[in-house]
Amino acid sequence: MGHLGLVRVPALRPAGPETVECHVDGKHVGTITVRVCDQCEVAVVEGIRMDDQPALADHALRLLVGRLPNHRWTTSRATAAQAEAFWRSLPWWQGAAGNPEYCPHMHRSDQPIPAPRADSPALPQASR
């Protein structure tokens, strides 16, 4: 395996879902979808899509968890059900698989963005 790099694509809202892109020698090989709340120090792995290489997913998760060592890590129920054998194969994994710990900030990020009110001032048009 070449050099594995992780690139976090930030969430649109605080504690919302974000994507971690995984690259080996500059080639995209997969993504990890995760929710992270730095205020509550919790993180939930919601999905792993990796070129069929469990060792690569293991390494990517180790790097990600290592970047946030004070967070409590869990996985979503769907992620645990899809990859039960994978989670059991990680002796270093200290998180709870299939028992997600979503904090209030994560729940708040799921709320729809309200539509603009009729009496809201219009945003100025960008000049060209």
Tell which wins on pLDDT, 112 or 80.
Answer: 112
Residue 128 lies in a domain: no
**What is the reported pTM?**
0.76
Window from 10-24, 92-106, 109-123 with minimum mean pLDDT: 109-123
Q: Residue 90: which domain range?
A: 4-109
Instruction: List the CATH number of the domain containing 94.
Output: 3.40.630.30
Residue 75 lies in a domain: yes
Total number of domains constituting the chain: 1
- Would you say residue 126 lies in a domain? no
Once rounded to an integer, what is the mean pLDDT over residues 41-63? 86
pLDDT of 90 over the 70 cut: yes
Contact 76, 44 (CB under 8 A): yes
Half-sphere exposure of 105 (CA within 13 A, CB side): 16
Mean pLDDT over each residue of the chain, to the nearest integer: 82
Q: Would you say residue 32 lies in a domain?
A: yes
Residue 127 domain-assigned?
no
Between 48 and 93, the higher pLDDT residue: 48
Question: Does some domain include residue 82?
Answer: yes
